[in-house]
Amino acid sequence: MGSPMKIRAQMKGDVADIKILMAHTMETGQRKDPKTNQAIPAHFIQQFSVEVGGKAVVQSQTGPSISTNPVFGFKVKGAKAGDKVVVKWQDNKGDSRADEATVA
């Protein structure tokens, strides 16, 4: 299980502005360890999902081309202050993480 995600969810008018920082190494499998000259095994988030107020709003499949500690941002209509935001991810090695925040 990785480090906790940083989730910010704020109402801006009638839309919730949600930003997520996922702490993950996101190794592509193409870099080499400078000490051993061996390839560093791929280790990246393969899928993530976001629920707001109990409703799925994002379901995504990702790959090794995403940067270390990726940041995702999006806007959600129909959310209200106090709604719970639940973010879950799973990587290619079977590790997973789930964190939550509240829309302010």
Q: What's the pLDDT tens digit per position in 7-52?
A: 999 999 999 999 999 999 999 999 999 999 999 999 999 999 999 9
| CATH for the stretch 6-102 | 2.60.40.10
**DSSP string of 47-77, one letter each residue:** EEEEEETTEEEEEEE--TTSPSS-EEEEEEE
User: Residue 1 — pLDDT band, cuts 50, 70, 90?
Assistant: low
Percent over 90 (pLDDT), the chain: 97
With a CB cutoff of 8 Å and minimum separation 6, the contacts of 102 are 9, 82, 83, 84, 85
Tokens 């409703």 locate to 55
Q: Whole-angstrom Cα distance, residue 103 to residue 84?
A: 6
Q: Whole-angstrom Cα distance, residue 4 to residue 22?
A: 8
Residue ranges of domains in the chain: 6-102
